[in-house]
Amino acid sequence: MQSVNRGLARNDGRPRNADRSLWGELAVVSFARATGLGGDLDLDPETVLCDLLADLMHWCDSLKAKGFRVEPVEFESALRRARAHYAQERVDERKR
């Protein structure tokens, strides 16, 4: 994590896709450990990711049910936005 922070400093604070990948890995590893799937991460990372995504869908539903937001978080809408961000970040990195 320290090397990522130093990398961000060298890039004027702009994250690289390698930084974003590491942040994603930290989220997946944290989820895998919390759910007891840590051992599965090396053997079957797709299942761990699938479980995380499903749990995030449940999280979005729970926000709606609890009324935490004026506008509920719609998972599919967030996923479309994430895909657009990902595509743009790939293009931007090729330009650097």
> Which string of DSSP letters, residue by residue, matches 44-79?
-HHHHHHHHHHHHHHHHHHHHHHT--SS---HHHHH
Residues 48 and 32 sit within 8 Å (Cβ to Cβ): yes
Is the pLDDT score of 24 beyond 60? yes
Domain boundaries, the chain: 2-95
pLDDT tens for 47-64 read 999 999 999 999 988 887
Positive or negative: CA dihedral 50, 51, 52, 57 = positive
Is the pLDDT score of 73 beyond 50? yes
The DSSP call for residue 13 is: T
Written as six digits, the tokens of 90 are 């790939």
pLDDT in the model for residue 40? 81
pLDDT tens for 75-88 read 999 999 999 999 99
